Amino acid sequence: MRVLAFGNPYLKYDSLAVEIAKELKDEAEFVICSSPEQIMEEKFDYIMDVVEGIDEIKVFDNLKLLNPHRMFSLHDFDVTFFLGLMESLGKINKVKIIGIPLNYDKEKAKEKIVSFLEKT
């Protein structure tokens, strides 16, 4: 299982996915991404990022469901925008995103993500 993790390790509100990926390195193959363009360069099963506007960890498999939410990234446009652009250009077909709520408890998130990964 390969998971691309996005976030800015220097911003507390945007670093959770990266922190979790580093701590769960034995559970799956996590790739810490510094730019959305890596989506086109890396093979992956899931993308993991912090999502504003959700209360629980959620797996999105429809990009249209992310429109009301903002996923943070290191660039002026976010991961959601980049994925939508790639989908409209026919560069990607289906993406599964593990969304972690903003300011979510890290230990609770790790437990839920490990449980999810074990089921897939």
* Mean pLDDT value of segment 37-42: 85
Residue with tokens 């903003």: 102
Q: What is the pLDDT of residue 69?
A: 46
The structure's pTM equals: 0.84
Query: Structural domains in the chain?
Result: 2-119 (3.40.50.1450)
* Mean pLDDT value of segment 11-39: 92
Name the strand (E) or helix (H) holding 32.
strand 29-33
Q: Among candidates 3, 86, 81, 84, which has minimal Cα distance to 43?
A: 3
Q: Is 120 helix (H, G, I), strand (E, B) or coil?
A: coil
pLDDT in tens, 44-70: 999 999 988 899 999 988 766 665 445
Angle CA(3)–CA(107)–CA(5) in degrees, nearest 5?
Answer: 20
